[in-house]
Amino acid sequence: MRLSAIAAVVGAEVLTDELGVDVDACCACGADLMSDVLTYTRPGALLLTGLVNPQVIRTAEMADVVAILFVRGKRPPAETIDLARQVGIPLMSVSLTMFSAAGRLYEAGLRGCDLHGRS
Amino acid sequence: MGVREPMATGLPSSREISKAQELVYELQIGQVMTRSVLWVTPDQTMRELEVLLRGRGIGGVPVVEVDRLAGIVSVSDLIRSLHSGVPDTRVREWMTADVVTVREDDSVVEAVRAFAQRPVSRLVVVDDKGKVVGIVTGGDITRGLLRAMAPAHSRSEVGRHRASHIFQDIVSDDTSLRLRYSIKPRDFGRGGEAASKLKRALQRLGGWPEIVRRVAVATYEAEMNLVIHSSRGGEIVAEVRPDQVRVAAVDDGPGIEDVEAARKPGFSTAPDWIRELGFGAGMGLSNIERCADEFTIESERGAGTRLAIAVRLAEEERLGNSPT
């Protein structure tokens, strides 16, 4: 699903300069535990999280996450946003809880990393 | 809203199929072919051919005479020769001299066409002088497409600064590149910088996205362990070889009380402030092990810890062979 479509579905505010015109997230992962992100995400996934420290960006970078959606209205500090710009990962924020944001996206057709492309 | 993707059917979506079609035109044969090619000469015996094919588990090889492609010989030729009942025959008598060849810079679609038009299962890749440089099968093409479809971050940016030729340019009997990163203790804000730099280096060296990701994830977990647990920090040393990437994370204390217990998922001695940052759930070591082909950890209380991993690269994953 296009990142712009994701932002529209949940009504997210975009925190970095742009989302990229044709960037797709293949699937999504919701976690507040960084080791879970490293273990369960697929390359090209969207990450939903309530954590906002710079390590979230590092974790996303290592796991080839394409964008991060901060839930529960969390606003990352400037150092987190700076690092995201540096490594080219777009950030979004939404006031919905993790469950509600995930539910809206699932309803719109986005699937979890565990269901994406399963054969 | 975008098109709904079929859920868990196991079938590729229409978008994935059209991406594959594009890639068939974009990818060059040189990016998918097998480079290390075995060959026989026309004067070798069919018995020698049998030993070679059986030993390597392959279906056919080019026949080369004085540096020039003379034919191709396969398992089906071998079977014909065995049925003939004539002992000690030579490759020359059974090979197909009319070989379908392609060039390294041909589009993969040329190979797909050749497979559709001719009853062959492998094509020989030759250079301008007719010298054999590789071989391409249907399996090579499928693997090449799958690799190329794996999303790679900032592929174009990385592509501008490629260093993937160094392993071809710098020739020795055993070339490796050693990268050292020193890690400060409790410097949480900078934790992950070493893994990030190593990841970038591997991308520039032409690492396959999935290989780079495994090394990056394992290194990052090991680096965070040094940040969180080591008394005086430590060092991450990566050794990049064409056929494998080895990473060691070393510190001089405090050491792990019970290494076996620490390896169990969920075991953690991390303080609360670390847990609040999303780390210290006791999944690090098992995650590192999952990413690695080899994993060792040695530790002594009071002396320090040495964690080492290796990620092996298959023939087509060797550095410099990436399709991206």
pLDDT in tens, A17-73: 777 667 889 999 999 999 899 988 999 999 999 999 999 999 999 999 999 999 999
* Residue ranges of domains in chain A: 3-107
Asked if A5 and B192 come within 8 Å (Cβ–Cβ), the reply is no
Q: Is some CB atom of chain A closer than 8 A to the CB atom of B266? A: no
Which residues in B lie closer than 8 A to residue A53 (C-beta atoms)? 188, 277-278
Q: Say what the pLDDT of residue B11 is.
A: 56
Chains A, B: CB pairs < 8 Å: 102
CA distance A69 to A101: 9
Cα separation, A50 vs A96, whole angstroms:
11
Query: What per-residue confidence (pLDDT) applies to B31?
Result: 85
Cα→Cα distances B183→B171, B239, B302, Å: 32, 17, 19
Mean pLDDT by 10 residues, chain B (324 residues): 44 63 82 83 92 86 89 92 87 91 89 87 87 88 80 48 76 90 92 95 90 96 94 96 95 91 90 87 91 95 94 84 52
Q: Chain A contacts of B5, Cβ < 8 Å?
A: 109, 111, 116
Task: Look at residue A51 in the predicted model and tell me its pLDDT.
Answer: 95
Residues B185 and B233: beta-carbon distance below 8 Å = yes
Give the angle A97-A99-A104 at the CA atoms, nearest 5°: 95
Which residue from B minimizes the CA distance to A115? B8
Q: Do A109 and B216 touch (CB under 8 A)?
A: no
- Measure CB to CB from residue A2 to each of B2, B151, B224 and give the nearest one: B2
Phi, psi of B64 (to 5 degrees): -120, 130
Q: What is the pLDDT of residue A116?
A: 66
Please tell me the class of the A3-107 domain: alpha beta
Closest Cα of chain A to B63: distance in Å? 40
What pLDDT was estimated at residue B170? Answer: 81
| ipTM attached to this prediction | 0.90
**Using the beta-carbon criterion (under 8 Å), do B7 and A64 form an inter-chain contact?**
no
Residue of B183, B283, B288 to mutate for A, most A C-beta atoms under 10 A: B283
* Confidence category of residue A119, pLDDT binned at 50, 70, 90: very low
Q: Which amino acid is at A107?
A: E
Within 8 A by CB and 6+ apart from A102, the residues are A28, A30, A48
Per-residue confidence (pLDDT) for residue B318, from 0 to 100: 83
DSSP assigned state of B307: E
Name the interface residues of A facing B (CB cutoff 8 Å): 1-2, 5, 9, 26, 32-36, 38-39, 43-44, 49, 51, 53-56, 58-59, 61-64, 66, 79, 87-88, 108-109, 111, 115-119
Mean pLDDT, all residues of chain A: 91
Q: What is the pLDDT of residue B24?
A: 80
d(CA B104, CA B29): 5
Q: Which residues of A touch B278 (CB under 8 A)?
A: 32-34, 49, 51, 53, 55-56, 59
Helix, strand, coil percentages (3-state) for chain A, rounded to 5, are 35, 20, 45
Report d(CA A22, CA B19) in Å as an integer: 14
Contact residues for A107 (Cβ-Cβ < 8 A; gap 6+) = none
Whole-angstrom distance, CA of residue B281 vs CA of residue B283:
6
pLDDT at B156: 47
Contacts of B122 (CB under 8 A, 6+ apart): B59, B60, B72, B74, B135, B136, B137
Higher pLDDT, A101 or B11: A101
Q: What does the pLDDT read at residue B150? A: 65
- pLDDT at res. B36: 66
